[in-house]
Structure 1
């Protein structure tokens, strides 16, 4: 449905917000993103990081906004009066009803294709790992020779040479000449870098030229130069343009210097600094040597006081030997006398404690006789005691009682009977006699049966 049909069918009044929204939708749907060229004016860089400006030409202008995340991706900073080409979405800012462009890409006017080529090659080489930090090499601290790839007529060569002569004039410099601008310059630079790597005459190589426009520096953005620098066996330093200039050569080199002069400072030691270090080292060695000589002199004096004449030392040793010999004789004699005295003392004690064998034998015989007599008396007493016990046992033996005519009355279960009251009338009992047993029956007198105990 077109806007005309919409208004014909809807005669109600709409709000400004609705109108602006409809206008925005129509603009965004009807105009695709396009490249637009013009001059930047009224540039404002907000604290939020967004950029607000107008893009104008000789007959008109349009409001533009570039948000922070897009602005941060630009290889340059937009400036007032800069001729640029930008691509963005044509839209309407509803709150103020302002026609504007939301910028997504920007490039310097006339250089769009160069920037695009730059970014494509940069992405390609980065994907291959030519920019990786791991492949970067350390620069030699004290190079024996320094190589320079640049034009013999370039002002950058004079800056590099003067800096190296000032910092360390004794280092040889070898120039590998190459055209650094114009047609065929990229191949010359690549050939010069390969020549330096093949000759291996230097320890570090500077690839440099002075500042200029992007077209002037474009030779150092060519793939042939980047691959030659990356393949060079010598550590390389790229010093192309000014501090704000970046080239592909900067990314593949082992070190980037913001200027050719800075590149010369990176590869060369500072003579004044080395001289100062040498002077400090000399003073430290001088102090150490002075302390060493003082210590050795004191040690020599101490040893000199201890040093004596060999004859005097021999006499001292002889006196000491005589004293030791006399002491040894005295100690041997003393030990001998002490041993002899101990032997006499032991002999005396042995004689005093020598046993009387005859007396001991006699005493032993007497003790033996007493022991035999005591044994006989004991045996006699034990025999008498045994006889008495035997007579007592015989007297108490029940068999002996039965032999005198007595009998033992037992019930059928073998229990001895102690009282007639324990027996029933006509009860069978056993009479145990001295020479055997007989059965008997109980007959109570007058037929009376005693009461049984309960």
Structure 2
């Protein structure tokens, strides 16, 4: 007999754990049927093929990431984890992601081409060119019927309406799209009329965007003489065209914004400068108006001005007349004083004054002569004391080396050196035989 009795719940729990351990996350292909969308957002359906079927559940957080509307009859590939719904004991697949059938092969082809072009250096950053900051003519490679074109035109109308846009029409979806895109790029290259090229398309599935994963399209973008911006799909979409273009934009609108960034920034700066200029002009006008008001208050009627000037003239005339009288009286008094000073004194008085001045001059001359004689004797004595000839007269001699420089230190002389001795009278040449310390 069995040693352990378990409940149905425990049985289902162990079965679920065993299934999930044994079967890892896998891609499973099949046809969708019995599709049900619950109010909670969860999606329930059956995945079947010709011989079998299995129940599937895709929870809301995963279902809302599916980029297309799931319908019955669609062939899909589900990334799913095999499990067991314990309350009913139903075997089911917990679906993590969905893709249309055949996308696995497309993705593998995408990876192979990406690696091939990367190995050739087409994605290297050092070959990416700088975008022109102020392009005046921009080419757009897209379909004339695409919403992407309307988005790009609207973005330029909003941000840089003066920029000339040239459309190179092409198919952007289907088997003929790659050749059409290449032809449009070659036309742009041949005409060389644009400073910048935008390659754009709206969002879609991997199959819808596959034309931009074509090798010929990638190489045509790579050899374009004008810098290129790729704006294909939505933010989550990435194509080979994005890798090879000089810049990648998340959407067509983002591509237009990137291409017009310089003009848009310049417009903002211009608006700021215009505002600053307007404020400066207003301040200047207000200052001039205040000055005008001040001048207007200071401005008087010419008649009043003439009357004021007349009164001032009368006042100045009166002051001039008074000043003339005062000056004339002052000059008369001064003239009388000068006349009294110029009248010569008596002859006897002048003789006495002359004798007195002569005596003062004699005494001053004698005193100055005695002072100068004393100073001269003192300077002569000092000069005689400093005269080197007087020193030589006392028995001393001046020693000079062969260069004629005076020798003050015997240590400077080497044996056998020639010296010259200067005496009070005459000089002599000598040879040093030995020097003695002090």
Normalised by the size of structure 2, how large is the TM-score? 0.49
Structure possessing the higher radius of gyration over alpha carbons: 1
